[in-house]
Amino acid sequence: MGPGYEGVYVVGTGQTTYEKKTDKPVQRLIWEASNLALRSAGLGFRDVDGLGVTAFTLGPDNVTTMTEHMGLTCRWLFQGLYGGASGVSGMLQAARAIQHGDAEVVVIVAADAFDVTSHMNMSRNPGQHDYMGPWGYGAANGIFAMHTRLYMKEFGATREDFGRLCIAQRENAMLNPNALLRTRMGMEDYLNARPVADPLRLFDCVLPCCGADAVVLASEAVARRLDVPLIRILGGGEVHNHPADDIYRFSAGWETFAGRMWNTAGLGPRDMDFVQLYDDYPLMEFVQLEGMGFAPRGGAGTLIRDNDCTVRGTLPINTGGGQLSAGQCGASGGMIGVYEAVTQLRHEAGDRQVPDARHGVVAGYGQVSYGRGLSASACVLGRE
């Protein structure tokens, strides 16, 4: 079997309402998104024989007890432990299982009932908790402020460079009824927002919220029976703890698999109708664009300046507003791009539809530990 994902189709996707607060437990959000995704495929829970779940706030439940909760009997399970890289990673691993006959219909879902308080109380890995926390490091904001400052100094990037991307995403969010931040943002609003951890200000940081996103993958035999657009995984990859010896190389490793991903897809960055990036901070979007070959190292600012990144533009990025403007439902931050990509390829994105979208790329990033996220993933999706 080659590096591709032949014989596997993405047949459904679903997203709950994004809310700043909710009384719903995370298990309910997982069910809601899974149910929406299965319905969009014309399938039901009785068809499911594989489940992948990622949720920071799920414990002491886990993917196995979720099968019990939802009454599923599964042959294949995945629990995402790669933070925001888990959505894409789970899809790729599910696709391999389906290719080999270990499952036929798999739901990959991520969710969290996250507000600012639960964000603060979340249990953190030793890298952050023991070797950064006692120094008042400012959590993820502090970590990515340090990356952003060094990147700006090394490559001459400006606040305006990051602002252009954040503003384009806000324009996309204004067309997305499920986005939490839908008021127009100008450059002055971006530049003068409340400072958080220099050089980051408020609109460089995501809004923690509650919700869930899901996709359904199925074997070709199942997919051909369904009345849905056929979407394939054309290529993909993941890598963890790269580079092992340097936190500050502006890389989490996308460049280690991007060449293989594009070769397998038979496509390149210029063939993409849209790009869904993991936007915990705009700096990381720059790093992903550079790692996946959209721009040379240090060149993402120029790329953004030379393109219109709205859904009507030349390089649509985070077409639903992304985590920066739609909201970050905890671990579902790693699935919002998957949901958005599949919705675009199904041509169901309403006012924010990228005209005749055929191909797109989705990146994931997560498991922030000592000074950086450890996990990177990406995949190319295409409509047949």
Write out the DSSP string of 34-53: HHHHHHHHT--GGG--EEEE
Q: Do 35 and 52 form a contact (C-beta atoms < 8 A)?
A: no
Q: Is 283 in the site for another protein (CB under 8 A)?
A: no
Q: Is 149 in the site for another protein (CB under 8 A)?
A: yes
For the CB of residue 80, give the shortest distance to another protein in the complex, in Å: 24
List Cα–Cα distances, 134 to 126, 130, 248, 367, in angstroms: 11, 7, 22, 19
Span near another protein by CB under 8 A; candidates 30-38, 190-198, 213-221, 340-348? 190-198
Q: Candidates 37, 98, 145, 331: give the one binding another protein (CB under 8 A).
A: 145
Q: Do 56 and 122 form a contact (C-beta atoms < 8 A)?
A: yes
Q: Do 384 and 236 form a contact (C-beta atoms < 8 A)?
A: no
Residues 245-274 that bind another protein (CB under 8 A): 245, 247-248
Span near another protein by CB under 8 A; candidates 159-167, 174-182, 244-252, 321-329? 244-252
Q: Is 137 in the site for another protein (CB under 8 A)?
A: yes
Residues touching another protein, count (CB under 8 A): 35
Q: Is 368 in the site for another protein (CB under 8 A)?
A: no
Question: What does the DSSP 8-state code read for residue 317?
Answer: B
Residues near 363 by Cβ (< 8 Å), separated by ≥ 6?
A: 88, 254, 275, 276, 277, 278, 288, 292, 337, 376, 377, 378
Q: Is 132 in the site for another protein (CB under 8 A)?
A: yes
**Which one, of 11, 107, 4, 119, lies nearest residue 57 by Cα?**
119
Q: Is 341 in the site for another protein (CB under 8 A)?
A: no
Rounded Cα–Cα distance for residues 239 and 199 (Å): 28
For the CB of residue 194, give the shortest distance to another protein in the complex, in Å: 8
Span near another protein by CB under 8 A; candidates 75-83, 146-154, 259-267, 275-283? 146-154
For the CB of residue 191, give the shortest distance to another protein in the complex, in Å: 15
CB neighbours of residue 310 within 10 Å:
22
Q: Is 298 in the site for another protein (CB under 8 A)?
A: no
Question: Based on CB atoms, which residue is closest to another protein, 141 or 323?
Answer: 141
Q: Is 184 in the site for another protein (CB under 8 A)?
A: no
Q: Is 156 in the site for another protein (CB under 8 A)?
A: no
For the CB of residue 135, give the shortest distance to another protein in the complex, in Å: 5
Question: Based on CB atoms, which residue is closest to another protein, 205 or 304?
Answer: 205
For the CB of residue 193, give the shortest distance to another protein in the complex, in Å: 12
Query: In what order do the strands lie in the sheet containing 76-79?
Result: 76-79, 50-54, 105-113, 210-219, 8-15, 231-240, 373-383, 359-368, 274-276
Helix (H, G, I), strand (E, B) or coil at 147: helix
Residues 197-226 that bind another protein (CB under 8 A): 197-200
- Phi, psi (deg, nearest 5) at residue 303: -60, -45
Q: Candidates 141, 251, 332, 375: give the one binding another protein (CB under 8 A).
A: 141
Q: Is 370 in the site for another protein (CB under 8 A)?
A: yes
Q: What's the full length of the chain, in residues?
A: 384
Strands 373-383 and 231-240: antiparallel
For the CB of residue 86, give the shortest distance to another protein in the complex, in Å: 23
Q: Candidates 24, 147, 232, 358: give the one binding another protein (CB under 8 A).
A: 147
Rounded Cα–Cα distance for residues 308 and 39 (Å): 34
Q: Is 191 in the site for another protein (CB under 8 A)?
A: no
Structure tokens at 380: 């190319």
Question: What does the DSSP 8-state code read for residue 194?
Answer: P
Q: Is 123 in the site for another protein (CB under 8 A)?
A: no
Q: Is 193 in the site for another protein (CB under 8 A)?
A: no
Q: Is 355 in the site for another protein (CB under 8 A)?
A: no
Q: Is 122 in the site for another protein (CB under 8 A)?
A: no
Sites of contact with another protein (CB under 8 A): 120, 126-127, 129-139, 141-142, 145-147, 149-150, 153, 194-200, 244-245, 247-248, 370-371
